[in-house]
Amino acid sequence: MTGKLRTDPGRVPPDDLYNLLIEAHRDLDEAASQRLNAKLILLLANHIDDKDVLAEALAAARGEAGL
């Protein structure tokens, strides 16, 4: 991998990010929660718009990047 994926904390405090995610899922059943996750992933992937970064992120999420 090229090492372009940022894994350091960004400008949004981690607790704030966590709270945003939890609030977005509030009162959703399992199926709706999975749809929200899928839509969020696609929106963020489109925003990133870099195949190498997306491939690196997917590898990291699978645990293959040793992060």
* pLDDT per residue as tens digits for the range 9-28: 889 999 999 999 999 999 99
Over residues 24-38, the mean pLDDT reads: 98
Helix (H, G, I), strand (E, B) or coil at 34: helix
Task: Say yes or no to pLDDT of 37 above 80.
Answer: yes
pTM of the model: 0.80
Sorted by where each begins, the domain ranges of the chain are 14-61
- Tally helices (H) and strands (E) across the chain: 3, 0
Q: Which residues of 22-56 are buried (b: 16+ CB within 10 A; e: fewer)?
A: eeeeeeeeeeeeeeeeeeeeeeeeeeeeeeebbeb
